[in-house]
Amino acid sequence: MRDAALHERDERASMERIFEPFAHEPEDGEFADAAWLGHGAIQASALLLARGDLDDAQKYAKMEETYFRIAPQAKPLMLQHTIDAVVD
């Protein structure tokens, strides 16, 4: 039983490390990079799959697909934010 609790704690810590970069209040003008979010989602999916949690692993895999599908469309917006910041 103790080993199971330690294992669960380690897995929770692994998941927290994956999503730690997203756990902050955004600053003015800050936006999320869809590709970056996609990488976090696929890491979470892999961790859950290794743990045997197929349902949650599939949810994160679907999130990853969505993020990577929109990532190319987000690049012009990211470029515009960069240009706006430089001009300001």
Q: What's CA 32's distance to the chain center, in Å? A: 10
Q: Using one digit for the tens of pLDDT, what is the confidence trace for 24-78?
A: 666 776 667 778 888 888 888 888 888 888 898 899 889 888 888 887 765 555 5
The model's pTM is 0.60
Alpha carbon distance 74, 15 (integer Å): 26
